Amino acid sequence: MNSFHGLEPRYVELRERAGVLAAECAQHAERADERDSVDPEVRALLAASGLAAIQVPAAYGGTFERPDALAGTIVRERLAMESGHLDSLFAMQGIGSYAISAGGSEEIRREWLPKVASMEAIAALALTEPEVGSDLKALSTTIVPDGGELVVSGHKSFITNGGDADYYCVLGQENTAGGGHSLVLVPADAPGVSTTRPHQIVAPHVLADIAFDGVRVPEGNRLGAPGEGFALVLATLATFRVSVAGAALGTAQAALDDALAHTTTREQFGGPLARLGPVPQMLAMSWTEIEMARAFTYQAARAAAADPAGSLHLSSMAKVGATEVAGRVVDRAVQVMGRFGLVRGTRIERLYRAARPMRVYEGATEVLLDALSRRLTKSVRTGEGGS
């Protein structure tokens, strides 16, 4: 990794700490990355590292005044090089708690955020439903105020940390005069919450479907004002979407490292693979794409740290760019490693699978490009610059 990105010492220090944690988790990675529930040893190592605290505001046990997009991106880049499970566990402590940081009552913040920072509590954000993915406005979960309580009913699907989380930030249709969508915090042990694990994906993940069967929580568990659920979800994405680009960069870098190690040491036709036919070009193109994606991702993350809402388009570009680069890089890496790139249980095989879901979750590539193109064409119509 080059030093020309000009990271301030606090970010360099965070990257070093993330490197130490990644190295500690290396011996658990193959096992953890096959699990559908949280790996206790990886969780304990993440807790001991103190790194989850960067996902929470300093006033509630966190590191920065508010969760810092560049810090999260840099840490995810380093963790994803070693283990998708570790990266996801770290990422969700922010993605699953930001609505509390931004919209929770003082009491709710004090109750949950210090536990999220210390990994005592595992966080989750429940938006997706069996019939609703990208088109979240069509969701059918309901939140109904009733006698000082909120009654939550519905079914959420593909929820990261589902089954192991201590609470769920649930997006639902609010049954108030103004209607709209709201977010509410539902403790995982509330009566009426049940989880199943009907799906598993190409790169195993802690995923569950969650049924909310008339779950009653205090009105104080509401996050943000009634009808402001989407604003909080957007605020979450504005801070955390760019960190997916960080994870994609780490995945791509590790794949290139493995491809380099293999092709410079294995000889065919009297010389190293790295000198044969198109292999050198494939390696150099991967390097080029990674460096370009990294430079832009850090720039977008810096912008998101300073002005999250104002730079969501940059975060989306970074997410699209870096995840698509990761897809190409892992594919080339497997190709130049031949049969050794295909062996189950090797790091390159895990990286190849880990790269794929990144282009779908937290805004599929096409959904983000659609939003970006609308902004771009609008800027032409209004005569403003696209950036």
Ligand X SMILES: Cc1cc2nc3c(=O)[nH]c(=O)nc-3n(C[C@H](O)[C@H](O)[C@H](O)COP(=O)(O)OP(=O)(O)OC[C@H]3O[C@@H](n4cnc5c(N)ncnc54)[C@H](O)[C@@H]3O)c2cc1C
Binding site for ligand X (CB under 6 A): 125-128, 133-134, 158-160, 201, 205, 357, 360-361, 364, 366-367, 370
222-223 and 181-187 beta bridge pairing:
antiparallel
Select from 85, 77, 105, 71 the least CA-distant residue to 30: 85
Check residue 228 and report its DSSP letter. B
Q: Which residues pair with 155 in a beta bridge?
A: 211
SS3 196: strand
In the bound complex, what is the minimum distance in angstroms from residue 366's beta carbon to ligand X? Answer: 3
Distance CA 231, CA 353 (A): 33
In the bound complex, what is the minimum distance in angstroms from residue 316's beta carbon to ligand X? Answer: 13
Nearer residue to ligand X within complex by CB, 166 or 257: 166
Nearer residue to ligand X within complex by CB, 28 or 241: 241
In the bound complex, what is the minimum distance in angstroms from residue 216's beta carbon to ligand X? Answer: 22
Residue nearest to ligand X (CB): 133
Nearer residue to ligand X within complex by CB, 145 or 187: 187
In the bound complex, what is the minimum distance in angstroms from residue 350's beta carbon to ligand X? Answer: 14
In the bound complex, what is the minimum distance in angstroms from residue 244's beta carbon to ligand X? Answer: 11
Nearer residue to ligand X within complex by CB, 74 or 124: 124
Nearer residue to ligand X within complex by CB, 127 or 256: 127
DSSP annotation string for 87-154: HHHHHHHHHTTHHHHHH--HHHHHHHHHHHHHTSS---EE--BTTBSS-GGG---EEEEETTEEEEEE
In the bound complex, what is the minimum distance in angstroms from residue 60's beta carbon to ligand X? Answer: 22
Phi first, then psi, for residue 327 (nearest 5°) are -60, -45
Nearer residue to ligand X within complex by CB, 87 or 289: 87
Cβ-based burial of 126 (10 A; exposed 0-12, middle 13-18, buried ≥19):
buried
In the bound complex, what is the minimum distance in angstroms from residue 208's beta carbon to ligand X? Answer: 10
DSSP annotation string for 241-308: HHHHHHHHHHHHHHHHHHHHHHHHH-EETTEEGGGSTTHHHHHHHHHHHHHHHHHHHHHHHHHHHH-T
Nearer residue to ligand X within complex by CB, 117 or 127: 127
